[in-house]
Amino acid sequence: MTSSAITASGLRKAYKDKVVLDGIDLDVPTGTIFSLLGPNGAGKTTTVNVLTTLMKADGGTIRVAGHDVATETKAVRAAIGVTGQFAAVDELLTGRENLQLIADLKRIRPAESKQIVADLLERFDLTESAEKLSSTYSGGMRRKLDLAMTLVGRPSIIFLDEPTTGLDPRSRRTMWEIIRQLVADGVTIFLTTQYLDEADRLADRIAVLDGGRIVAQGTPAELKRQIPGSHVRLRFASDLDLETAATILTGATRDAEDDLVLRAPSDGSAKSVRDLLTHLDNHNLDVEEFSVHTPDLDDVFLALTGKTSTTDTTDTTSTTDPKVSA
Amino acid sequence: MASSTTTMLGRNFKHTLRNPVAVFNAILFPIVLLLMFVYVIGGAFDIPGKYIDYATPGMLILTICYGLSATALSVNSDMTKGIINRFKVMDISRSAVLSAHVAASLLRTVIALAAVTGVALAFGFRSPGSFTDWLGAIGLLVLVSFATTWITVALGLAAKTPESAGLVTVPLIMLPFLSSAIVPAETMAPGVRQFAQYQPFTPIIETLRGLLAGEPSGSKALVAAAWCVGIALVGYVWSLSTFKKRA
């Protein structure tokens, strides 16, 4: 199928006089991963809430699974699954009971639902803890249970609002694997994230949301193409070396953050790097350290929003949940 | 295929079973109060007849009110812990979630009422009321529980945090004290007396006392029933509108 799973045009939402979403257009093809990327407060969760019928939009038209969100709410709800930012599990129920509860609410016949629940527990590696109260689960296990609950009844479109925020690196990787499997089964995924690497790795298309507007949209590769090309970073021992190098290398600029670093344009290929280093060597210039820098989504983000992303890679690895799932 | 209301009910019953402390607490406190008033404080009161016969109906009403804090808490934790959003996008009828809370709360209350009545009987409470009087008394207790539970659900929904949800039922627990539950309203200071005479719990308790004493009063019962229906209606409408507003 090449039809659209989600379309939105001119989507607007304001809380009193504060405009949160200011005319958003989206088109998510069926069976793809679409990632809405943006810093905290950009309007990601509001977008999800409006698309999933939890909130009414002030303006614009939205169709989810071919149904109008405003007028065919029931049909939309029947087609979607939502995993919010905070694990929506019942803490006084066991993992198995949580899944059974959703199966019962979706009116799946008991004979069938037992098997569905058992399969989901198996698939999410929760069988061992199935009879334990979910309040005893670690953060990663809770997210997995939460997502498993979303999958009961096989929704064709799944909304994931920051599914890996607060997870340790290992649990994030597990979550990514699960998301990829879902898409392989033909499910459409709408994912919000503030992690650039997450959008980069998972998404077929990315929209960058900033201040209630979409500032860029495209495939990860297309977005990367929108900003200046790759370069080589050269670190010198002294300011004098750097100034000499700056005169012999065309187009080289000083790094804004480190005054002993020079940025020289380069396509990053082995040949151009070799030529560059030979050129410096011919002038008896010693390079202390060098690295090839290809643009990542961080650069895109910076170029598009004028801000750095709220979290960098060191941050994502340090937000480790003390109760790491085993 | 169970309907969503019975499914939700099963969920709330499991919650009650897994949190026996809440039930125990709802039973223990009224019993302690009953014994305190009958054996420690009540001796100083100048009330005709056995004091335990006077105090028991009031204590039963207090039992209902005291148990409500658990209801407010569980309603509120549903709202603040995100699970409600899951239910909302699943297109379960809005009243199913709330009705299940009310039904589970009623069950807890009935258990607590039975326990308190049992203890009162063991300590000498006697009712000359007929079988129909007792049926009337049970009916009234259930009606009061139903009405105050809906108000509590509304309060629990309106509370921003679980901490404040624990406090919202305090006025409901205080009201019976400011009624003729423990001493006749006529003995109270001016101001308090008028309040006690006109607030809903006085006609409710007087009706219950009349029924249990075998001297039912039709006019009082009518006022009591009217209050209950009014409170239940306000609670129900308020609950649904608050539930719709909170995303």
Q: What is the pLDDT of residue A293?
A: 78
Which ipTM score applies to this complex?
0.81
A318 pLDDT exceeds 60? no
B18 touches chain A (CB under 8 A): yes
pLDDT range class, residue A190, cuts 50, 70, 90: very high
Q: Which residues of B touch A109 (CB under 8 A)?
A: 1
Question: CA of A94 to nearest chain B CA: how many angstroms apart?
Answer: 10
**CA B41 vs CA B26, B48, B56, B58: distances in Å:** 22, 15, 14, 15
C-alpha to C-alpha distance for A90 and B243, rounded to whole angstroms: 18
pLDDT in tens, A93-131: 999 999 999 999 988 898 899 999 999 999 888 999 999
Q: Which residues of A touch B8 (CB under 8 A)?
A: 105
Q: What is the pLDDT of residue A129?
A: 92
B87 touches chain A (CB under 8 A): yes
A23 pLDDT exceeds 70? yes
- Main-chain dihedrals φ then ψ at residue A186, nearest 5 degrees: 95, 5
Q: What is the pLDDT of residue A301?
A: 72
Q: What angle (nearest 5°) sits at the alpha carbon of residue A198, between those of residues A194 and A203?
A: 105
pLDDT < 70: residue spans in chain B: 1-2, 246-247
A321 pLDDT exceeds 60? no
pLDDT range class, residue A171, cuts 50, 70, 90: confident
Q: Do B11 and A74 touch (CB under 8 A)?
A: no
Per DSSP, A98 falls in state H
Q: Is the CATH number of domain A231-294 3.30.70?
A: yes
pLDDT averaged over every residue in chain A: 84
Q: Which of B89, B93, B246 should be substituted to probe chain A, the one whose Cβ sees the most A Cβ atoms within 10 Å?
A: B89
Q: What is the pLDDT of residue A311?
A: 41
Amino acid B114 reads A
pLDDT range class, residue A229, cuts 50, 70, 90: low
A205 pLDDT exceeds 80? yes
SS3 (DSSP) at A216: strand
pLDDT in tens, B143-169: 999 999 999 999 999 988 888 888 888
Q: Give the closest of A88, A92, A104 to B15, CB-based.
A: A92
SS3 (DSSP) at A218: strand
Q: Which spans in B19-125 are helix H?
A: 20-35, 51-80, 83-89, 94-122
Q: What is the pLDDT of residue A133?
A: 93
**Domain A231-294 in the same topology as domain A4-89+137-225:** no
Mean pLDDT confidence for A195-207: 88
Mean pLDDT confidence for A207-217: 88
Q: What is the pLDDT of residue A307?
A: 60
Q: In this predicted structure, which of A61-65, A157-161, A271-275, B142-146 has the lowest mean pLDDT? A: A271-275
Strands A33-37 and A205-210: parallel
| Full strand arrangement of the beta sheet holding A18-29 | A18-29, A4-15, A59-64, A67-68
SS3 (DSSP) at A33: strand
Which is nearest to A55 in space by CA: B94, B245, B159? B245
| Full strand arrangement of the beta sheet holding A231-236 | A253-254, A261-265, A231-236, A287-293
- Main-chain dihedrals φ then ψ at residue A241, nearest 5 degrees: -55, -45
Q: Do A93 and B11 touch (CB under 8 A)?
A: yes
B89 touches chain A (CB under 8 A): yes
Q: Do B85 and A82 touch (CB under 8 A)?
A: yes
A1 pLDDT exceeds 50? no
Q: What is the pLDDT of residue A324?
A: 35
Structure tokens given for B216: 């039912």
Tell the CATH topology of A4-89+137-225.
Answer: Rossmann fold (3.40.50)
Q: Do B89 and A133 touch (CB under 8 A)?
A: no
A134 touches chain B (CB under 8 A): no
- Annotated domain spans of chain A: 4-89+137-225, 231-294
Do the beta carbons of residue A205 and residue A219 sit within 8 Å? yes
Instruction: Find the closest chain B residue to A112 by CA distance.
Output: B1
